[in-house]
Each structure stands twice: as C-alpha cells, then as structure tokens.
C-alpha cells in the first residue's frame, strides 16, 4: 500500500494518487504495521507463558483493529471503483489504474491477514482455556 502511486493527466491537470490522500488508507497502513510488529514480537514468546491472558486481550484488540481497517478500506475502495452517482462522486479507477491495482492487491492481503488473525485468536483462546473439551469426562 505504501508503494502505490500513480499519476494521470486529466484535461491538462496533473493528478496524482497516493495512499496518503485518503485517511482510510493511512489508517490501514498504520494498523497493519502495528499488527505485523506485534506478531513479530510475539514470535519469540512461548505458547503457554504466564502472561497468556494479557496476550489474549492484546490479540483480541489487534484482530478487531485489523478487521475494522480492512472493512473501512473496502468501503472506500468500492466508492473509488464504482463511484457514487447519488453524491456526484466519479470513480477514479479509470484514470489511475496502476494505483487501483496496487491498492486491490494490498487489500486482498489485508483481508487474508484479518482472517488468519481471527484464527490465531481462536487458537490462543483454545490454548489458554482448553475450551473445546466438554466439562464432564
């Protein structure tokens, strides 16, 4: 997402599309950067350490934030691709196709990351509480 950039000449006006043009994409970049840094740090932690509950809460928060960032970006991306005739917003993907493709790729990997993080959350829940066994043996 950070490297997505495209310029276009529309009616003799220079038109540049960067990810920082939209606060939504900035939010997406920041959230994914935090999530990847957090995952990197957690790689060095053993699975069932003493601060397991704290890690579970952090996992829940990060999964929540990842999901919200991808959802917001999908909403804005849909407007960018198809426009919104009722609000008079024209689609911009026709003018900056490279930017659009780049952003689409970033969103797809962000979506996969959100799904995988949800699975990680379920796994750490299971690890901590042995929830998927019935109470009576």
Provide the CB-side half-sphere exposure for 43 (13 A, CA): 6
Q: Is 64 a residue that touches another protein (CB under 8 A)?
A: yes
Q: CB of residue 58 vs another protein: minimum separation in angstroms?
A: 12
Q: Is 49 a residue that touches another protein (CB under 8 A)?
A: no
What DSSP state is assigned to residue 62? H
Options 32-40, 41-49, 102-110, 116-124: segment touching another protein (CB under 8 A): 116-124
Residues binding another protein: what is the number (CB under 8 A)? Answer: 48
Q: Is 23 a residue that touches another protein (CB under 8 A)?
A: yes
Measured between alpha carbons, how far is 108 from 100 in angstroms, rounded to an integer?
A: 12
Residues 6+ apart with CB under 8 A from 69: 27, 28, 31, 32, 110
Binding-site member from 2, 34, 42, 121 for another protein (CB under 8 A): 121
Backbone angles phi and psi of 26, in degrees to 5 = -65, -40
Residue that is written with structure tokens 């900056």 in the block: 96
Give the residues lining the site for another protein (CB under 8 A): 15-18, 21-24, 27, 53, 56-57, 60, 63-65, 67-72, 74-76, 78-80, 84, 86-90, 92, 118, 121-122, 125, 128-132, 134-137
């Amino acid at each position: 997402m950070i490297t997505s950039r495209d310029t276009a000449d529309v009616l003799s006006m220079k038109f540049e599309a960067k990810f920082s043009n939209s606060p939504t994409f900035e939010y997406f970049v920041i959230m994914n950067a935090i999530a990847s840094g957090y995952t990197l740090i957690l790689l060095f932690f053993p699975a069932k350490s003493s601060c397991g509950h704290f890690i579970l809460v952090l996992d829940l928060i990060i999964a929540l934030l990842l999901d919200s960032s991808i959802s917001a970006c999908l909403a804005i991306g849909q407007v960018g691709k198809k426009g919104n005739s009722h609000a008079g917003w024209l689609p911009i993907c026709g003018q900056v196709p490279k930017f659009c493709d780049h952003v689409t790729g970033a969103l797809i990997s962000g979506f996969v990351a959100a799904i995988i993080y949800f699975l990680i959350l379920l796994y750490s829940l299971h690890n901590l509480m042995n929830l998927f066994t019935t109470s009576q043996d």
